[in-house]
């Protein structure tokens, strides 16, 4: 398959940036978008040009490292997938494909398609953890957790922190990410001891990072690769109100 690519190129944070056009020829229909970019980069390097920078790691939809906007859609024009899982068979031979980085104020562009998502790390450092002693795995497993609660906690725990929720939100909100991390721990016995401090600290850090407010567009859930439910946002709001009133 052959494609024409319009790719965002930007040398650094201070560079204005622009779209450049490349040809991607002889691409397998089973190749992922990232593998297609690998082919294009090999051609660029062969003629002494700078390769297109993009984030990647596991390439199995697990780590959340990959994250770009393809034809206007975060992780591509389809729902519930990561960029590394998007196969070229989803496009038509001869298509023009526009590829650009996440456009979120809190995720400044580092180079080309790479953005700085360490804002998520700072939110986690603000309270997305448990400091109480929980013992070893056998001891933790001895604590009975109702299946419904365990299922909800696991739904939240699936969040891979890719940033698709913020990138697709019209306000650049990180509410789904923060809510998933707050909800996961608030639901389980080991996380209840610090639930008040956790939600207050994480929400405060989210606001400090410059993310926008949630307006319930549900775009975050639609684009989340792991289909994390927006119901966790409602739970986080309840946790926040409860913590604020000290009850």
Nearest-5° angle of CA 99, CA 101, CA 102?
A: 125
When pLDDT is averaged across residues 177-199 and rounded to a whole number, the result is 93
pLDDT given for residue 142 in this prediction: 80
Q: Which helix (H) or strand (E) holds 4?
A: strand 3-9
What is the spatial distance between Cα 126 and Cα 176, in angstroms, rounded to a whole number? 16
Q: 165, 189, 4: which is closest to 91 by C-alpha? A: 4
Antiparallel, parallel or unpaired: β 96-100 and 114-115: unpaired
What is d(CA 237, CA 199) in angstroms, rounded to the nearest whole number? 9
Question: Reduced to 3 states, what is the DSSP secondary structure of residue 12?
Answer: coil
- The whole-chain average pLDDT of the chain stands at 94
Rounded average pLDDT over 27-32: 96
Tens digit of each residue's pLDDT (9 = 90 or more) over 119-162 = 999 999 999 999 888 778 777 778 888 999 999 999 999 999 99
Going by C-alpha positions, the residue among 21, 155, 44 that lies closest to residue 97 is 21
| Domain residue limits, the chain | 3-111, 118-244
CATH superfamily to which 118-244 belongs:
Alpha-helical ferredoxin (1.10.1060.10)
State the DSSP H helix or E strand holding residue 186, giving kind and residue range, or none if neither. Answer: helix 175-187
Q: How many CB atoms lie within 10 A of CB 118?
A: 13
Q: Give CA–CA dist 91/3, Å, rounded.
A: 9
Span 80-101, average pLDDT: 96
CATH 3.10.20.30, domain 3-111, yes or no: yes
| C-alpha to C-alpha distances, 39 to 3, 10, 51, 94, 228, nearest whole angstrom | 12, 20, 10, 16, 33
Q: Is the pLDDT of residue 247 over 60?
A: no
Structural tokens at position 90:
């989803």
pLDDT digits (tens, 9 = 90+) for 161-177: 999 999 999 999 999 99
pLDDT band at 7 (very low <50, low <70, confident <90, very high): very high
pTM of the predicted model as reported, rounded to 2 decimal places: 0.91
Listed in sequence order, the residues at least 6 apart from 193 whose beta carbon sits closer than 8 Å to its beta carbon are 130, 132
Separation CA 200–CA 187 (nearest Å): 16
SS (H, E, C) 36-53: HHHHHHHHHHHCCCCCCC
Name the DSSP class of 62: S
């Amino acid at each position: 398959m052959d494609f024409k690519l319009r790719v965002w190129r930007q040398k650094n944070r201070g560079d204005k940036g622009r779209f450049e056009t490349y040809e991607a020829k002889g691409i397998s229909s089973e190749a992922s978008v990232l593998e297609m970019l690998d082919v294009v980069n090999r051609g660029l390097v062969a003629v002494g040009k700078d390769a297109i920078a993009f984030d990647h790691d596991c390439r199995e939809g697990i780590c959340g490292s990959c994250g770009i906007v393809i034809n206007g859609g975060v992780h591509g024009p389809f729902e519930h997938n990561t960029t590394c899982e998007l196969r070229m068979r989803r496009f038509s031979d001869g298509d023009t494909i526009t590829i650009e980085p996440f456009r979120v104020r809190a995720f400044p562009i580092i180079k080309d398609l790479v953005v700085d998502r360490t804002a998520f790390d700072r939110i986690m450092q603000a309270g997305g953890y448990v400091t109480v002693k929980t013992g070893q795995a056998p001891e933790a497993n001895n604590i009975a957790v109702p299946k419904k609660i365990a299922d909800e906690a696991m739904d939240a725990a699936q969040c891979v922190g890719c940033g698709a929720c913020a990138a697709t939100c019209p306000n650049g909100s990180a509410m789904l990410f923060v809510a998933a991390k707050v909800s996961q721990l608030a639901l389980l016995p080991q996380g209840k001891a610090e639930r008040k401090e956790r939600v207050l600290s994480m929400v405060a850090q989210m606001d400090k990072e410059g993310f926008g407010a949630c307006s319930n567009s549900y775009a975050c859930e639609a684009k989340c690769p792991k289909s994390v439910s927006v119901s966790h946002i409602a739970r986080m709001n309840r946790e926040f109100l409860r913590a604020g009133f000290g009850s």
